[in-house]
Amino acid sequence: MFKNTFKKMFDRAMNLNKENILNFLDKDKDAIFLDLGCDDGLWTMKLAEKLGAKKVYGVDIIDEKLNIASKNGVVVKKCDLNSVFPFEDNFFDVIHANQVIEHIAFLDNFISEIFRILKPGGYIVISTENASSWHNIFASIMGWQIFSLTNISSKKLGIGNPLATLSGEVIDLSSWTHKTIFNYRGLKDFFSVYNFKDIKIIGAGYYPFPSFLGRIDVRHSHPITLKAYKR
């Protein structure tokens, strides 16, 4: 029963997070837009619609998803985001990555590549989990794996936390495992190290309390979304 309740809270938080992402996008019909981890392209095209962008690119590593995204109107590129991105310098006006950065093994490469392909004056919107959210703090106090780091194995989900919503399920994609979970300050400082400016972070969920409280107490919300500019 608790897992079902937690799943509902999670879904509400994810919906609010998507609202936060959309609110970070500025209307610009001339923008060249890139979605890192585009999946089937449906969310990518929703973001592009909010922007008004006609030039829409997406990157993923799964061929099946790339084929679907292409049919949905995305110009797709297959790429492991731990490697060099297949784009020229200063190409994109807006880059987006939702629930992707936590899966990246080589974070320095990831963020430096984002900076490289982003135009001066362009911006990045990244959403990720928050290690300091209340439910992660609770798990840590209990001596459990925090909720955001229960999928550290490609063999089994829910490791180290009896309340993990996907506990016991099996996956076969190592790219789905979480490598790094940021805190509010860590995420902000990391982007500052790479010379991103005008950094703003907003929050969504606030387990086990109403999701909108995450917009008030960002440091303990879950997830968190960052917007930062290349100046």
Please state the rounded mean pLDDT for residues 44-61: 97
Predicted pLDDT at 158: 86
- Residue tagged 């999946």 (tokens): 39
Q: For 127-159, how does the pLDDT look when each residue is reduced to its tens digit (9 = 90+)?
A: 999 999 999 999 999 999 999 999 888 778 889
pTM for the whole structure: 0.92
Predicted pLDDT at 190: 97
CA atoms within 13 A on the CB side of 190: 19
Q: Which residue has the higher pLDDT, 172 or 83?
A: 83
Q: For 92-119, how does the pLDDT look when each residue is reduced to its tens digit (9 = 90+)?
A: 999 999 999 999 999 999 999 999 999 9
Q: Which residue has the higher pLDDT, 226 or 156?
A: 226
Q: For 171-199, how does the pLDDT look when each residue is reduced to its tens digit (9 = 90+)?
A: 555 567 899 999 999 999 999 999 999 99
Predicted pLDDT at 8: 77
Taking phi over 0 as left and psi of -120 to 50 as alpha, with beta for the rest, 143 belongs to left
Predicted pLDDT at 1: 56
Confidence of residue 9 (pLDDT cuts 50, 70, 90): confident
Domain boundaries, the chain: 2-129+179-230
Q: Does 168 score more than 70 pLDDT?
A: no
Q: Does 21 score more than 90 pLDDT?
A: yes
Residue type, 105: A
CA-based Rg of the chain, rounded to a whole angstrom? 17
Could you tell me which CATH number the domain at 2-129+179-230 has? 3.40.50.150
Burial class (CB in 10 A: 0-12, 13-18, 19+), 80: middle
The answer, yes or no, to whether the previous bond of 208 is cis (omega within 30 of 0) is: yes
Q: Does 24 score more than 60 pLDDT?
A: yes
CA neighbor of 20 nearest in space, from 231, 211, 220, 168:
211
Instruction: Please give the share of the chain, as a percent, with pLDDT higher than 70.
Output: 93
